[in-house]
Amino acid sequence: MLRPGRNTAARWRSIKLALQRPGIRRPFHDSRPRHFRPAVLTRIDQNLIQPLGNWVLSIGPLGLLRWSFGTFLAHHLFTSYFFSYNTTWGISMLPTLNSAGDGVLISKYYRRGRGVQIGDLVSYVHPADREVHAVKRVIGLEGDFVTMGPAYVDDHDNPVALANEGKMIQIPPGHCWVVGDNLKHSRDSRGFGPLPLALIRGKVIARWASWVNWEWLNNPLQDARVDDYDVD
């Protein structure tokens, strides 16, 4: 092994001492322009980072691990049993939801179909691809009769043939029937059949395009009454 000579060691000690002296700075030889950083941002960073660093040092590694685990657990419980937020894309729910950029607030009280009514917007796991989540409107519950159709088109505007188009189907127990508001461009129960209630993640209760542009989503459908129609 090679050892540094005395001159090298002495020179290194002198450099180290010089760098530790107050007021000694490394000369700046870079010809590139320095980035401008407002003093306000510098003060904000100092006011935030320094207390955070002191807090991390005060609780120690084990305390930081416990805090991280508790935060993760609280987030998981909140998004699984109370509320969650997702963004939407696609044209199947026009004009209720925009094709891109809308955020939706999902109430997990209605998960697995609890309390879901006809006309509600629900978020669900796609029965054919468990990695895909979708939002559609419920138009039928178990025991209801629905008519298969109308036909919809694929991504290339080619009509998709429905095996039972025009036929009336009764929704089996534990299922519901969902469709998109934009019927012509929506892949829904007309393609994969009745949706199991167990796949419902929750009910969509609000939408917003920004923090200042949001609205509650109310059920637009009302129960029909016999006296609304002429019955012989």
Query: Can you read off the two tokens belonging to residue 219?
Result: 């059920």
Burial of 107 (0-12, 13-18, 19+ CB in 10 A): middle
**Could you tell me where the DSSP H helices lie in the chain?**
6-20, 39-81, 189-192
- Tell me if 154 sits within 8 A of 186, measured CB to CB: no
Catalytic residues, by residue number, are: 92, 136
Return the beta strands (E) in the chain as ranges: 83-89, 100-107, 121-125, 133-141, 145-147, 168-170, 175-179, 195-196, 200-210, 213-216
* Closest to 173 measured CA to CA, from 194, 147, 146: 194
How far is Cα 33 from Cα 187, in angstroms, rounded to an integer? 54
What residues does 124 pair with on adjacent strands? 134, 200
